[in-house]
């Protein structure tokens, strides 16, 4: 009987851990990643910064990161943007709420991207 109770508790704990891991991965937003990046910059944690990049393909040099380390000491705010690119070359910049509101991301604003700024988004 005692072994059965321990077994059931172990299964419950295992399921709880798996659920929390799944929940953490699903709740990670681009803003959460930006917060993690800023924290890693402040600690000069190159290894964690590397993990945040897709396929550890850092296109930013260490010199640039060192410059960003200084910036990370300042107060900051976070914004979430997405670009829409049309076949005719026109682009829109859409700003979203950094976190879900009533379980949804909401649009805060939309701007047309000027021609001289488009290369920043390609």
What does the pLDDT look like over 19-70, one tens digit per residue? 555 445 555 778 888 888 888 888 888 888 888 887 766 677 778 888 888 8
User: 2 burial class (0-12, 13-18, 19+ CB within 10 angstroms)?
Assistant: exposed
Question: Is 41 a member of any domain?
Answer: no
Over 13-55, what HEC string results? Answer: HHHHHHHHHHHHHHHCCHHHHHHHHHHHHHCCCHHHHHHHCHH
Give pLDDT, residue 97.
87
112 located within any domain: yes
Does some domain include residue 11? no
Is residue 110 assigned to a domain?
yes
The answer as to whether 102 is a domain residue is yes
Express each pLDDT in 6-18 by its tens digit. 656 566 555 656 5
Return the SS3 of 93: strand
Tell whether 26 is covered by a domain. Answer: no
Q: Give the domain range for residue 121.
A: 79-122
Q: How far apart are CA 78 and CA 33, in angstroms?
A: 11
Query: Rounded to an integer, what distance in angstroms lies between the CA atom of residue 74 and that of residue 27?
Result: 26
Give me the number of domains the chain comprises.
1
Is residue 105 in some structural domain? Answer: yes
90 in a structural domain: yes
């Amino acid at each position: 009987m005692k072994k059965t109770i321990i077994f059931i508790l172990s299964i419950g704990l295992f399921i709880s851990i798996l659920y929390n891991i799944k929940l953490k991965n699903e709740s990670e937003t681009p803003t959460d990643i930006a917060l993690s990046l800023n924290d890693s910059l402040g600690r000069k944690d190159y290894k964690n910064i590397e993990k945040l990049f897709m396929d550890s393909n850092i296109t930013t040099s260490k010199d640039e990161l060192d410059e960003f380390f200084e910036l990370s000491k300042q107060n900051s705010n976070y914004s979430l943007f997405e670009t829409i690119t049309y076949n005719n070359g026109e682009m829109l910049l859409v700003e979203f709420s950094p976190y879900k509101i009533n379980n949804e991301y909401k649009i805060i604003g939309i701007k047309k991207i000027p021609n001289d700024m488009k290369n920043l988004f390609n």
